[in-house]
Structure 1
Amino acid sequence: MMYTTQMDAAKKGIITKEMEIVAKKENMDVNILRELISKGKVAIPANKNHKSLNPEGVGENLRTKINVNLGISKDCCDIDEEMKKVNLALDMKAEAIMDLSSFGKTKEFRKKLISSSNAMIGTVPIYDAVGFYDKELKDITAKEFLDVVRNHANDGVDFVTVHAGINKETASVFKRNKRLTNIVSRGGSLMYAWMELNQRENPFYEYFDELLDICEEYDLTLSLGDALRPGSINDSSDACQIKELMILGELTLRAWKRNVQVIIEGPGHMSLDEIESNMLLEKKLCHGAPFYVLGPIVTDIAPGYDHITSAIGGALAASYGADFLCYVTPAEHLRLPNLDDVKEGIIATKIAAHAADIAKKIPKSRDIDNQMSKARQELDWEKMFELAIDPQKARRYRKESTPKHDDSCTMCGKMCSMRNMNKIMSGKDLNLLRADN
């Protein structure tokens, strides 16, 4: 039986090779996975032209996935340097990479990225439009915006962020409700500016059916962007954000009717006490579609440490139902991240995702923690390094301050609780002052 997309196959009762791979990774019955895909609660972004892809599922009852943003810009357009970040992200097993390139040889970088990456690849086509056509934003036509999406889809991109929810109706709500930080989404601000400059409806909203044609042809997953996500904790959960979420929910149903997979993008900046209600509201208004969040960043005063503020919010968000975390690096709000920033961002986000999986009781999520605890109890340093999320750093810290006795560290020495409990529990003498072991 023929099918057009993963969702189409799922509705027809067909189990695809991508479903089989994801089910095995998730320790899940493939028929349960297929049912979740048929209902839109899980997406497997897998463009037909991305031949090197090792597919992942995003959504209900699955492990929390992480995304790494990178790409060339006008100020930093070194493709080789960005590919180093790509290789680092792949080595650290990030499930997704988003190419946010906005200047220069974007197509060259995108094709190189797709051909070398087994992670799913996302893009934001509106970033590429100005450079692609060498036109000012105002002069780009609705058809040209759609053609950029098609170009990315043809290259093999697995999901695209499209800010279709900021239509005239949503924009009017924004104009009536003053914000501290206005519109902070780069793509959202560009789309709003185009609408204002041309006094036209958002082309991605007006021609949403044509957009779905492209998605259906390539099995391109739509990541419905949150143009009005809060860019400060002052603006979170306001009328602008909620109105757009309602529009995204309507667009989700239209996409599902065409068997197009959907991921919903969410905040943003948000105080801790609002995160749970926002996750519940998104799932309700968007009919259980997978939810992809940037952070949330839980305080606005930590430039240089936003990988931490983001990880705090991300862990909480994912524990309450977010399915996909976009990493944030220490360079957020300051500059393009370098290689070290990328590593710090990935590690912080992986910690958040794993902590949430434990809270969500994802099958086998605790296994590695129990293995680490056993290695600590046995004072098996090599095993601890092997299990660590960053083995290099753990090994370096141990090496930088070497204890006199291997069965301890320089914090506690012979007062190490693990060492002493092992001795006492096995009936041995305890020697804190004597020179012998």
Structure 2
Amino acid sequence: MKSLRCVRLFVTPWTVACQAPPSVGFSSVNACVDVVLSGVKLLQALGLSPGNGKDHSELHSRNDLEEAFVHFMGKGAAAERFFSDKETFHDIAQVASEFPEAQHYVGGNAALIGQKFAANSDLKVLLCGPVGPKLHELLDDNVFVPPESLQEVDEFHLILEYQAGEEWDQLKAPHANRFIFSHDLSNGAMNMLEVFVSSLEEFQPDLVVLSGLHMMEGQSKEFQRKRLLEVVTSISDIPTGVPVHLELASMTNKELMSTIVHQQVFPAVTSLGLNEQELLFLSQSASGPHSSLSSWNGVPDVGVVSDILFWILKEHGKSESRASDLSRIHFHTLAYHILATVDGHWANQLAAVAAGARVAATQACATETIDTRRVSLKAPHEFMTSRLEAGSRVVLNPNEPVVEWHREGVSFHFTPVLVCKDPVRTVGLGDAISAEGLFYSEVHPHL
């Protein structure tokens, strides 16, 4: 993937630069329109009041929506849920779309990553997802949509945002974040998978991004298993040497997550992107380390995160004795990022993880560069690199914010994030982080 290789020109704390690569093909699956607005204001407009928060694996009513939103806003945690009632969802979506402060953006993990790549004029992006008229209008000119992907109606996802310290009666958000819900059947059925596969030969991408597996939670178990097998078969048709990045998203179905991990999906991809909620849920679903932990308490413990990342790569990653391509995981949480890679397959990790941290601060604050007056440091000043083994104790050095350590053939690169105090927009941050990290990563030719 030499056309994606970046030359690190300089790296200072949270500052990275890269020599622009030549034109590169980039393919992705999963797309929608994000309707972004204040969660509290929308629920108030719907006549709802905050009660006792309660998580729901699937939303069936307005009351379920209110309870789930209260549950996650109280934790300041991101979440995404499927809304099963089509008519009720469309009624809520209409109110949201017509809300004076509502904004419409490109949505879908893969589309957001593709849009981020397309901002570089030298890169060309192929997007295979359900693209309606509004989404088509929002996409960058460098994003090519095959005719088979165009449809008459957009798939809308509602993004209910809240700010740090925002109050709703007795409820108060500890962090800025968002709650996402949709009744998205096209992405849920991965209807564009065949279009995507048939387009690869002509487009000849240097990188493939796959997402939307979480959208299958609204489907039957039989459908999920059948579609995942087809996903693996499709990935196997991608030419050898073309990295495949899988971006995970919020899920509640442990059986589906376990199937994704064990039914050859993980071994079929080269790289993973995920946040703290997805990482813990993955470990709980597949009986990984620290799976007895019910939820994170504040900033996720670095040693615990490191243990789970190490387990994923050791149990499902690339090795001499295992037929797997997985060799890279980009983990991101509000306060810090970790890039874990199997030794010998990736380079430029320092620049990649630093670039991800930088874009997290600039995009959240909607600034070109980091404004030190608008950011704060929430990462631990010292931490253990493992909670299962005799890990080392790390004390952060502000002059060298990227910390590196190694564990049985796996390299870890950690960097704190300068967190925006008054974020303009939180949705899509994880996708921007993953895109930026991929842009700066170098994959070795023998991968």
TM-score range, shorter chain: 0.3 to 0.5
Q: Which has the higher strand share?
A: 2
TM-score by length of 1: 0.36
Q: Which has the higher helix share?
A: 1
TM-score by length of 2: 0.36
Max Rg structure: 1
By relative contact order (CA 8 Å, sep 6+), the higher-ranking structure is 2
